[in-house]
Structure 1
Amino acid sequence: MLLSSPLSLMFTSVARLSFWRKIHKYLGWVLLLQLIFWFGSGLVMSLLPIEQVRGEHLRRAQAAPDWSQALSPAPLAQQLPHHQLKLSQQGIIPVYQFSKDNEQLYYSALTAEVIAPLTEAQVKDLARRQYQGTADIDKMQRLQQAPFEVRHLAAPLWQVQFADEEGSSFYLEEYTGKLLSVRTNNWRVFDFVWMLHIMDYEDREDFNHPLLIVFSATALFFTLTGALLLPWRRKRRSDL
C-alpha cells in the first residue's frame, strides 16, 4: 500500500499532464487561423499612417464664406420651430441648414431662398476645390444609396472618383457640396483587416459580439494552459 500510493500519484500526474497537453494542442489548432488574423491585422493597422487612412492628406479646406452680408435666420426659424439650425456653406456662399430627424432643408443666408441640389458641373467644381492632389476626375455619380464603405452617410450624395494611385473617392453632400468623407485604398485595406481583427464580418463595427468574446476567452484559456504546462516541461528537461 505504501508503494502503491506514490505510483498512483505519479500515474495521476501523468494523466493530468497528458489531458492538459491535449487541451492545449486542440485549442492551438482551433485558434491558429484567428491568431494569425489578430496579429497580422494588428501589424497592418500599426503600419498604415492613420492620417493617410482617413485621407486627410488629400483634403483641402474650403475658403470661409463671408457672413457679414447674411440675413437673420430668425424668420426662417419661426417657420421651422422644431428644426435645428446649423451654419453651412455652398462654396463661398453662406448657408442656413435646418435639420429635423432625417429631413434637411437648405437656405441661402444671403437671400433666404431655398437652395436647389447642386448640378453635376457644380459638384465637379467643388470636388476639385477640396482635392489636394493633381489627378483628374475619373468618374462621378449621384447615389441614391450610400455604398458600404460610407455606410454611415445619408443618401442621396455624390461620389467623385479621382484617377490617382490611391484610388481616392470623395463623397459630397448634394446641396452644399460639403466633403463628407474620403476613401482610399489604404482605408479599404484598413477596413478589411479591422473586420478580421474584431471578427465582425457583416457591419465591421461591433467588437462586443459573442464570436469575438468566445474566441478571446478561448485564447486566454490557451495561454493559461500553456503556462500550466511550462513547469512540467522544465522539470522533464531537468530530469533528462
Structure 2
Amino acid sequence: MLKLCRTLHNWLGLILVVQITLWFLSGLVMAILPIEQVRGEHLRQTAAVQWQQAGVSPQQVLQQHSAHASLSLSQRLAWQNNQLSALPVYLVEEGNSLSRYSAVDGEPLESLSEQNIRQLALAQYSGNSEIVAATLLQQLPQEVQHLKAPLWQLQFNDSEHSRFYLDPATGAVTRVRTDSWRLFDFLWMLHIMDYQDRSNFNNPLLISFSAAALMFTLSGIVLLWQRFRPRKRRPALKASSH
C-alpha cells in the first residue's frame, strides 16, 4: 500500500509541478497587484447623476413602447463650462433594440459624435497624455469581449498603453484597460486554466488538475505520517542472571 502511495505521489508530482508552480506564481502576483490599479480606477474620473433634474416619469416614456418593453436607469455625460456632468437617462429595451430618452424632457437621444466622444474621454481621463486613436468598434477585442457592441475605443499614449471603452450613446467609460490589467488577465488565465475565454472557472481541465493536486497532497500526508509516526518502543531485555 505504501509503495503504491509513494509511486502515485512521485508521478503526480512530475505531472503537476509546472501547473502548481503557475498556481502559486499567478496567485502571488495577482495578490500583490492593487485591484484599483488593475481596473484603471486611478486613471478615471466619474460624475454623479443628478436625478433631481428628471422632469419626465418612466411611465410617460414606456407609453411609447409595447407592454413587453423594460426600462432601466442610465445616464449621459456632458462637458459644460469646463465641468463633467451626468444627465439622467431612461434606457428602454424592447426585443433586440435599445432606446435612450432624456429623463429631463423625454426627448430621444442619438449617438454622440466622434468629437463629443473624444471630449468626454479626455474629461474622464485623469492622466496627462493625449488620444492617439479613436475607433468605433462593431466587433470587440478579447479584453472587452463580454460587453455589447458597438463601443468607442480611445487609445492614450501613456506608459500604461491605456484604452478607454466608451458607450456611444452615453459617453460613459464602461471599461479601462491597461498593461496592469493585461498582466492580471494573463495570470488569471493561467490560474483558472481557461485559455480561450479566460472566464470559465468550472472547466474540465481545472477540475482534473485540482483533483490530481488533492490526491498528490493526500498521498504526501500519508507518506509524511508513515515516516514520522510514533514508533512503539520495544521492551528492554532483562539482563540474564549468572
Instruction: Please report the TM-score for the alignment, with normalisation by the length of structure 1.
Output: 0.84
After superposition, the CA RMSD in angstroms is: 2.0
CA distance in 2, matches of 1:165, 1:46: 22
2:125 aligned partner: 131
Amino acid at match of 1:62: A
* Aligned-pair CA distance for 1:77: 1.5
2:207 to 206, 213, 218: 213
Distance (whole Å) between structure 2 residues aligned to residue 180 and residue 213 of structure 1? 32
1:83 matches 2:70 = yes
Counterpart for residue 41 of structure 1: 26
Three-state SS of the structure 2 residue aligned to 1:218 is helix
Q: Tell me how far apart the structure 2 counterparts of residues 69 and 194 of structure 1 sit (CA, whole Å).
A: 42
1:225 and 2:219 correspond: yes
In structure 2, what is the Cα distance between the partners aligned to 1:72 and 1:217? Answer: 55
Normalized per residue, the structure richer in helix is 1
Contact 1:90–1:175 (CA under 8 A) maintained in structure 2: no
Bigger CA drift: 83-92 or 118-127?
Answer: 83-92
Question: Which has the larger displacement, 99-108 or 39-48?
Answer: 99-108
- Which letter does structure 1 place at the counterpart of 2:109? I
Cα distance in 1, alignment partners of residues 152 and 16 from structure 2: 43
Q: Secondary structure at the match of 1:31?
A: helix
Tell me, in whole angstroms, the C-alpha distance in 1 between the residues paired with 2:51 and 2:72: 18
Structure 2 counterpart of 1:88, which letter? Q
C-alpha deviations, 1:11-70, integer Å up to 9, x for none? xxxxx4443322211111100110111001101101100110111111101264574363
Q: 1:108 to 1:17 in 2, by over 3 A?
A: closer
Structure 1 residue runs of 5 or longer lacking an equivalent are 1-15, 236-240
Q: Is the 8 A contact 1:95 1:109 kept in 2?
A: yes
Q: Which runs of 4+ in 1 moved over 6 A?
A: none
Q: In 1, Cα distance between the equivalents of 2:109 and 2:125?
A: 24
Q: Secondary structure at the match of 2:165?
A: strand
Q: Does 1:29 align with 2:14?
A: yes
Amino acid at match of 1:43: L
Q: Find the residue that maps to 1:74 and give its secondary structure.
A: helix
Secondary structure of the equivalent of 1:171? strand
Whether the 8 Å contact between 1:65 and 1:89 is mirrored in structure 2 is no
How far apart are 1:159 and its partner, in Å? 0.6
Amino acid at match of 2:28: L
Shift of 1:143: 0.1
Letter in 2 for 1:85: S
Following superposition, the deviation at residue 234 of structure 1 comes to 4.7
In structure 2, do the counterparts of structure 1 residues 101 and 201 end up closer, same or farther at CA, with 3 Å as the change threshold?
farther
Distance (whole Å) between structure 2 residues aligned to residue 20 and residue 66 of structure 1: 66
Instruction: Decide whether aligned partners of structure 1 residues 222 and 122 sit closer, same or farther in structure 2, where only a CA change above 3 A counts.
Output: same
Is 2:37 aligned against 1:52?
yes
Does the CA-based 8 Å contact 1:62-1:129 persist in structure 2?
A: no
- Label 1:222 to 1:63 Cα distance change in 2 as closer, same or farther (>3 A): closer
**Deviation for aligned residue 1:181:** 0.8
CA shift, 1:231, in A, is 4.1
Which of 90-99 and 132-141 deviates more? 90-99
Which letter does structure 2 place at the counterpart of 1:142? L
Say if 2:88 and 2:104, in contact at 8 Å, map to a contact too: yes
Contact 1:70–1:94 (Cα < 8 Å) also in 2: no
Deviation, structure 1 residue 76: 2.1
**Structure 2 CA distance for aligned equivalents of residues 205 and 107 of structure 1:** 34
